[in-house]
Amino acid sequence: MVEPFDRRMVEVGDGHRLHVEQSGNPQGVPVIVLHGGPGGGCSPFMRRFFDPAHYRAVLFDQRGCGRSEPHASVEANTTQHLIADIERIRRELGIGRAILFGGSWGATLALAYAQAHPEAVLALALRGVFLGRRSELDWFYGGGVARFFPDRWAEFQAPIPEAERGDMIAAYHKRLFGGDRGQESRYALPWLVWENALAGLEISGPGHAPPDYARAFARLENHYFVNGCFLDEGQLLRDRARIAHIPAVIVQGRYDMVCPPASAWELAEGWDRAELRMVPASGHALSEPRIAAELVRVMDGWRDAAREGGRA
């Protein structure tokens, strides 16, 4: 396991302090890793995709989650705040242009940051693309994917009165932000389990989690989704021209039930510098063997190209 050579807390304003770590080669090609969720936090597993002799990997826990403080806070916590945080971290660490590496919500944030600061981005490695659109939220929380997982959907709906099940995001929001910490934790677990159960084709996430982790994950994710991810509808496709010059590789599970391949296809279509790699017999999770192996190939490919005098 690659261990960090630097750990620190970075003050980003609004009362938030972010846990930031660096591993690999301090003089290497910088990679900023953007975790999923929102609210998922980073894990040591995420360091494994980067050759430590070549890359300088920067991982951080976004506002309100992981080891960042205050825990589970949604105050001053929007996509625009997170974009500013990435820029703050990049400048504090003295990084010029960096590769952005993100999956699911991390891919959303990578695209949003790149469109706001294209001059700071060397390349994009994206997985399980989520574009933050209403149609994608409706697929997952409005009954679309329930056609494939009626049993899991029933479990997700069970804590909610039947009269409120027409808007599951709003129904859970009411309970995740009710002010009773015990109730918030109780409703956080079925929110988390619903997503984890669908994340992998051959693996499924845990059916339980520490209450503090579940509460932070559920509150943050729900907060972003009830607010449309703090993006204009269709914004990331609308503004794609801003990053048309940036090379990108999109790794997408063919049977991703959380973020279906249509979004990755739409993102890549007409983007000459983007390569879409559809991974067979795979779902959404970063830990799925074929997904993980393909992401390693992406990063090793860029490493080899750089050593041969190529780009990225």
Domain boundaries, the chain: 6-133+230-307, 135-229
Please state the rounded mean pLDDT for residues 105-121.
Answer: 98
Flag whether pLDDT at 303 surpasses 90: yes
- For the entire predicted model, the pTM comes to 0.96
**Burial (CB count <10 Å: 0-12, 13-18, 19+), residue 77:** buried
Flag whether pLDDT at 5 surpasses 90: yes
The three-state secondary structure class of 253 is: strand
pLDDT more than 70, % of the chain: 97
Please state the rounded mean pLDDT for residues 151-174.
Answer: 98
Please state the rounded mean pLDDT for residues 243-262.
Answer: 98
Q: What integer pLDDT is reported at residue 207 of this predicted model?
A: 60
pLDDT more than 90, % of the chain: 94
Under 8 Å between Cβ of 130 and 136: yes
Residues noted as catalytic: 104, 256, 284
Report in angstroms the alpha-carbon separations of 209 from 7, 69, 125, 190, 212: 25, 20, 29, 10, 8
- CATH code reported for the domain at 6-133+230-307: 3.40.50.1820
Query: Which pLDDT tens digit goes with each residue over 194-240?
Result: 999 999 887 655 566 788 999 999 999 999 999 999 999 999 999 99
* Structure-derived torsion over alpha carbons of residues 215, 217, 221, 224, reported in degrees to the nearest 10: 80
- Structure-token match 């951080």, residue found: 60
| Confidence category of residue 39, pLDDT binned at 50, 70, 90 | very high
CA distance 58 to 47: 9
CA distance 7 to 13: 19
Flag whether pLDDT at 122 surpasses 60: yes
Flag whether pLDDT at 86 surpasses 90: yes
Can the peptide bond before residue 289 be classed as cis, meaning omega within 30 degrees of 0?
no
